[in-house]
Amino acid sequence: MTAQNPRATPTAVQVAADTGGTFTDIGLRRADGSLSVWKVPSTPSHPDEAVIKGIRAVLEQQGVSAQDINRLVHGTTVATNTVLTREGAKVGLLTTAGFRDILAISHQARPMIYDNEVHRPAPLVPDDLIVEITERTGADGEEITPLEDSELERVAGELADLDLDVVVVSFLNAYRNSDHEDRAVSYLTGRGVAPIVSAATDVTSEMREYDRTSTAVINAYVRPKVSGYMDRLGTTVEDMGVASRLWVMQSNGGLLTPGLAGTHSARTVLSGLAGGVIGAANWARHLGLDKVVSFDIGGTSTDIAMIRHGEPDETTTGEIDSMPLRLPSVDVNTIGAGGGSIAWLDSGGGLRVGPHSAGAVPGPVAYGHGGTELTVTDAHVVLGRLGTSLLGGGFDLDYATARARMAEFAEKLGMLAEDCAEGILTVIAATMGRGIRKVTVERGIDVRASHLMAFGGAGPLHGADLIHELGMTSAVIPPLPGIASAVGMLDAPVRHDFAAPVPRENADGSGSLEDVFRTLRRRALDEMGDAGFDEERLIDARYTGQSYELTIPYTADQFAQRELLDENHEERYGFRDPDAEMELVAVRLVATVPKPDIPQARIAAGDGAAVVPKERRPVYIDGAWTDTAVYDRDALSAGTTLEGPAIIDQFDTTTYVRPDQTCRCDDAGFLHLTRR
């Protein structure tokens, strides 16, 4: 393994690689904070090939060597795609007798309450790969039915005959007492029933049997593929002579080693999404913005997250493909609305947009790759917001074909092509607005007092419309929006989360939880070493009788703990209940190793002369063609102010400014769109 803290040199650089469905983005940051970007086509069958190719390309372009990399971070979609494509391991489940159907029954929540024909995705473990064993632990952790050696011998034979890749052992109430699970794992491992045997409590030791089992099964399902990928990538990086350890982005917004990513693979399910949110949180702190909505628009979906006081909202109740994932993660609301979202007519003749997407192939009509269904991108092309090319002139757009197809579609609605294109953007803006309200208004936050951090390939195109629609304070466009997720990963700390149930005698908040926190700290030391880390103590609390908890800061003062619960409950749900009793459910320890600070790159101030647009073109705005200035973003200096309407072009995105808005460029290169 290479050094964890390599030398700092004048040419030292930080590199991040973010694997996407179409492109793998590479971001390189120098010691002065300046950034360079590189994109290479992704290689879905072997994602590491694109990662290595991109790293080598950006190093060659910048004239630095692998030995100059003092921080290398990777965001991977391997775990996510493995679940979504159902191409994971053959997993078997050993569970308490009487509970074999836990994955099939799941929980009472229905995906679509009024759809009688909707079906949940099939469990990752089919019924014929589930084995039951006679044992039982009570809800208080006391043994009810012993785990006999004869039972272990019986199930070992059954499991061995199934030819499994992984066996998950998940017993009822093991989160309170894992002795039976630990014994079973040890026995089955010794018998060699499968290459990997894991206990559910090793993945997550929290209550709710379905959620805990589902999380353990997801981890097992993706583990062989993720582990193999990490081994290959780590070996190649080391052979290149990279002076930094490879770090992997995980769902909670922190980094972990490839070794841990290989065994705790479910932690990487939201790897790519988390990078953009962490980047937005860092920019919010830098700009001094209190409430910020992270708004990342790609080709297929939009990822939305709330950031308060520079910290993103988090959750321990995420999911993937409708299956619960009981692990800490940034709280991202993903909606089916992106640049490739398809416009269509419903049975009543109404205009709808998404969630279906044209994807990268064939893509929008304007891409000229055989696409025939109109998309949000085509609407931007027809309206003149996008010119005749993308990627600095490297990708041509077919305006004529997109305009003709829009005219055909608009005729069904009795509209002009341009009015139809505006209608498409109005509909998608309403969908995106609902997504933003979900992370603001539904959490007790005034959306009008929030800023929109718009990034991704299409975020800057929609930011102006959304702050107009929702009455938000401003839209902020970072310097390199198209690779914001990769850049954000460079600002992530090394982070590990640990959790344990609150002892029943302390559930009312009385008594000390120091022993539990000491146990979690020992686990942190075992996993992270003694290099030193910061600790954050948290507690899951609720009013007695509630089904779900709020994660809040922990304090040993029982009365102060109750006040924290009341304050957070009132903020989230709009009320507090002074008559209800408090119940503490789980203890959490967040251990982080902060990264070295890198200064924010600055851009030069202008000489006071007005910025000259590189061209002017007609843009269809509010029902009329409007002569609009088009600027090159690289030509904007610190302090530049532009009056809308305006178009601002750059290599990785295009920013649109409405006629009633002003765009200001600050000294770090961020664009601020506000109402005039």
Tokens 């006040």 belong to residue: 563
Determine if the peptide bond prior to 355 is cis (ω within 30°): yes
- Residues in CB range of 52: below 8 A, 6 or more apart: 233, 236, 237, 240
The encoded tokens of residue 48 equal: 């590491």
pLDDT surpasses 80 at 252 = yes
Do residues 633 and 649 touch, judged by C-beta distance below 8 A?
A: yes
Average pLDDT, integer, range 574-595 = 92
Span 13-30, mean pLDDT?
86
Q: Mean pLDDT over residues 402-423, rounded?
A: 96
Q: What is the pLDDT of residue 115?
A: 79
- pLDDT score at 308: 94
- pLDDT tens digits along 291-346: 999 999 988 789 999 999 999 999 888 888 888 899 999 999 888 888 889 999 99
Decide: helix, strand or coil at residue 85. coil
pLDDT at 119 over 80: no
Q: Which two tokens stand for residue 494?
A: 């090394």
CB 386 within 8 A of CB 654: yes
Give CA separation, 263 vs 334, 340, 395, 471, in Å. 27, 35, 41, 46
Query: Per residue in 170-223, pLDDT tens?
Result: 999 999 999 999 999 999 999 999 999 999 999 998 888 999 999 999 999 999
Other C-beta atoms within 10 Å of 177: how many?
18
The band of 19, judged by pLDDT with boundaries at 50, 70 and 90, is confident
- C-alpha 503, offset from chain centre: 32
CA contacts within 13 A on the Cβ side of 676: 14
pLDDT-derived band at 2, boundaries 50, 70, 90: very low
Pick from 377-381, 529-533, 666-670: least confident: 529-533
Given this model, what pLDDT does residue 574 score? 87
* CA proximity to 124, closest of 99, 158, 93, 151: 93
Domain 494-593 has CATH 3.30.1490: yes
CA dihedral 564, 566, 572, 577 (to 10 degrees): 170
pLDDT at 8 over 70: no
Tokens of residue 505, six digits: 């005698």
Q: Kindly write down the DSSP assignment for every residue of 209-239, as one continuous string.
A: HHHHHHHHHHHHHHHHHHHHHHHHHHHHHHH
For 518, residues 6+ apart whose C-beta sits below 8 A from its C-beta are: none
DSSP state of 123: P
Domain 13-83+225-268 coded CATH 3.10.105.10: no
Between CA 283 and CA 305 the distance in angstroms is 14
Q: Residue 504 to residues 21, 183, 298, 521, 586: CA-CA distances in angstroms?
A: 46, 24, 46, 21, 10
What pLDDT is attached to residue 52? Answer: 94
Mean pLDDT for 490-509 is 89
Query: For residue 361, what are the contacts with CB-CB under 8 A and spacing of at least 6?
Result: 369
Helix (H/G/I), strand (E/B), else coil: 654: strand
Summarize pLDDT for 445-470 with one digit per residue, the tens. 999 999 999 998 899 999 999 999 99
The full set of domain ranges for the chain reads: 13-83+225-268, 88-222, 494-593, 615-675
* Chain-centre distance for alpha carbon 153: 42
Nearest one of 492, 487, 496, 484 to 596, comparing CA atoms: 492
Cα four-point dihedral sign 145, 148, 154, 155: positive
Of 2 and 195, more confident: 195
- Whether 13-83+225-268 shares its CATH topology with 88-222 is answered no
Share of the chain above pLDDT 70, in %: 97
For residue 454, list its beta bridge partners: 295
| Rounded Cα distance, 403 and 264, in Å | 49
Whether the CB-CB separation of 410 and 419 falls below 8 Å is answered with yes
Helix (H, G, I), strand (E, B) or coil at 157: helix
Q: Are 254 and 494 in contact (CB under 8 A)?
A: yes
Q: Are 166 and 185 in contact (CB under 8 A)?
A: no
Helix (H/G/I), strand (E/B), else coil: 675:
strand
pLDDT of 605 > 70? The answer is yes
Task: Name 652's Cβ contacts closer than 8 Å, sequence gap at least 6.
Answer: 37, 39, 391, 457, 480, 481, 482, 483
Higher pLDDT, 613 or 8: 613
Report d(CA 377, CA 362) in Å as an integer: 13
pLDDT for residue 9 is more than 70? no
CA 114 to chain centre: 29
Q: Which residue has the higher pLDDT, 552 or 36?
A: 552
Q: Which residue pairs, CB below 8 angstroms and at least 24 apart, start in 282-290?
A: 282/310, 282/488, 282/491, 283/453, 283/476, 283/478, 283/670, 284/310, 284/451, 284/453, 285/310, 286/600, 286/668, 287/476, 287/666, 287/668, 287/670, 289/451, 289/476
Q: What are phi and psi of 155, to 5 degrees?
A: -70, -25
SS3 annotation, 487-515: HHHCCCCEEEEEEEECCHHHCCCCCCCHH
pLDDT tens profile 509-527: 888 899 999 999 999 998 8
Averaged pLDDT of the chain: 90
* Residue 10: band (very low, low, confident or very high) from pLDDT cuts 50, 70, 90: low
Q: Can you give the three-state secondary structure of 104-161, one letter per residue? A: HHCCCCCCCCCCCCCCCCCCCCCHHHEEEECCEECCCCCEEECCCHHHHHHHHHHHHC
CB 496 within 8 A of CB 254: yes
Element (H, E) at 158: helix 149-160
The pLDDT tens digits for 84-117 are 889 999 999 999 999 999 999 888 777 677 877 7
Taking only the tens place, the pLDDT of each residue in 623-674 is 999 999 999 999 999 999 999 999 999 988 899 999 999 999 999 999 999 9
Q: Is the pLDDT of residue 553 over 70?
A: yes
157: how many CB neighbours lie within 10 A of its CB? 11
In CATH, what is the architecture of 88-222? 3-Layer(aba) Sandwich (3.40)
- What's the rounded Cα separation, in Å, for the pair 462 and 641? 20
Q: Which residue has the tokens 């903020």?
A: 571
What integer is the mean pLDDT of 28-50? 86
- pLDDT at 1 exceeding the cut of 60: no
Judge whether residue 614 has pLDDT over 50.
Answer: yes
